[in-house]
Chains A and B, each alone.
Chain A
């Protein structure tokens, strides 16, 4: 009795990790990507961050502005990398790879989550970059192992969330041109309607409301809480985790439902 219930679950977890493993094996061959991705967070922290810190225009309480945006830029770079992940499945669809996986007995949700999870692990390099830059710029970081572990988990979860979102978009639009268009349209609103580079307190009411519906806000809150020494959470770390996990679960289920569309 219990075996029939447990098997699908263990099989799902196992298959998810098989997909993740092979997505990561492909990484060995594109190290250039890791380097080009380092550029954007560097620009935001070194130029945007420095200039705005000097202007003193942003009131971020007892935390210096540069410290304030370091976690925001980490979240932003995770978002920017993950949101274009779906282009890979469009590419795999134009070949015959998606079709072949869909004709195998692998659970659809495992195909989706496995890919999302691998994007999560790939994005960890952004964490290394932002931490290195923060160190150079004198951001007061929290080096406690528990805090670092939380940052690690949150980066993986956030990238899984946004890459799964990206996959859902890919399943709907199906072509590279439309996908790039939608991706461009989505990134900036998600970024600006969040607490990444300014506190939500200074937002107009409507934008503040939108920002509370934006998962990126909770990612930034969690990262800010754990990354910085002496920072406190706006929403509470547990709520951050709940929002991210629930959103990811919903997106994986939607993605599993839409994934077979790629084969038709």
Chain B
């Protein structure tokens, strides 16, 4: 069996009386493509924020690449890459500059920086546009640049929060092609959230479904489908566990941020 790279134990986060993530326990193996599914407000983003050390947990613990998110935050930060849902590259810098700043912040050896940036640009198919301002990029290019930026330092785990939201189908396919290639080349573990079930089905080794902060289902796509009996699709599985999500949903700020992201990328 492969090594465990992400180990989550009873991870809990409350906001006042509201429990966003409720005693989440799961582990992810090195090199795995792991999809976290759930309706809006299920606790996916809160989970990612805790795992990336942006938000301290109320209780529970997680270890990322062997480092504790509560007591070894800097170790975790060195070992991970993070692509937030919103646009996280700077539109007033060029693609190359956006990569250069992260090469420096992550302490890449000076003599390797240029080669590593050139390789990342090439890999994400952005070499021709490296000197252009990112403000002029298309949505798919922005996402690919964000992934290049978050993986320059060869993280063990790459966290992606809805990496394909707001992209057209062609750009989505391109983003996934690059992500899968990256896993193949560098063994990067991919931990991502998505609303698109077909993406989860096509790319995930395993899937977890969260509902109201709790882990409701965990397994390979096939296992989850089979758990409901023969002839069921992942869509059925999702509806079964996450329910019709009309009553939950995000708050105003989250929704407007999500739509703004979609607009910027689209």
Interface residues of A (CB under 8 A from B): 11, 14-15, 18, 21-22, 25-26, 29-30, 94-97, 99-106, 260, 263-264
Contacts and interface: CB of A to CB of B under 8 A. Distances in A.
B78 A94 contact: no
Contacts of A105: 74, 77-78, 105-107
Contacts of A264: 49, 54-55
B110 to A, nearest CB: 11
Interface stretch (B79-87, B176-184, B204-212): B79-87
A54 to B, nearest CB: 45
B53 interface: yes
Interface of B: 49, 52-55, 74, 77-78, 80, 82-90, 92-93, 97, 101-102, 104-107, 133, 149-150, 257, 260-261
A96 B78 contact: no
A97 B90 contact: yes
A95 B78 contact: no
A30 B55 CA distance: 34
Nearest to B135: A29
Contacts of A14: 104
B229 to A, nearest CB: 41
Given A25-B97, A97-B88, A105-B78, A15 B49 contact: no
A30 B92 CA distance: 9
Contact of A18 (B86, B88, B104): B104
Given A94-B86, A96-B261, 5 more contacts: A14-B104, A95-B88, A100-B83, A263-B49, A264-B54
A110 to B, nearest CB: 9
A104 B52 CA distance: 9
A182 B102 CA distance: 33
A103 B101 contact: no
Contact of B54 (A26, A29, A260): A260
B62 to A, nearest CB: 14
A24 to B, nearest CB: 11
Given A105-B77, A105-B78, A29 B105 contact: no
A20 to B, nearest CB: 11
Nearest to A106: B105
29 contacts: A15-B104, A18-B104, A22-B101, A25-B93, A26-B92, A26-B93, A29-B92, A30-B92, A95-B86, A96-B84, A96-B261, A97-B89, A99-B82, A100-B83, A100-B88, A101-B105, A102-B53, A103-B54, A103-B80, A104-B77, A104-B102, A104-B105, A104-B106, A105-B78, A105-B106, A105-B107, A260-B54, A263-B55, A264-B54
A30 to B, nearest CB: 8
Nearest to A22: B101
Q: Among B74, B83, B88, which residue has the most Cβ atoms of chain A within 10 A? A: B88
Closest 7 CB pairs of A and B: A96-B84, A96-B86, A96-B88, A103-B82, A263-B54, A100-B88, A105-B77
A194 to B, nearest CB: 33
Nearest to A175: B253
Contacts of B84: 96, 99-100
Contacts of B52: 103
Given A264-B49, A264-B55, A100 B82 contact: yes
Nearest to B161: A96
A111 to B, nearest CB: 9
Contacts of B107: 11, 105
Given A26-B93, A99-B88, A94 B257 contact: yes
A238 B260 CA distance: 50
Contact of A15 (B78, B105, B150, B257): B105
Contacts of A25: 93, 97
Contacts of A96: 84-88, 261
A29 B97 CA distance: 14
Nearest to B264: A95
Contacts of B90: 22, 26, 97
A94 B93 CA distance: 18
Contacts of A102: 53-54
A30 B80 CA distance: 34
Contacts of B97: 22, 25
Contact of B53 (A21, A97, A103): A103
A13 to B, nearest CB: 13
Contacts of B150: 100
A104 B151 CA distance: 11
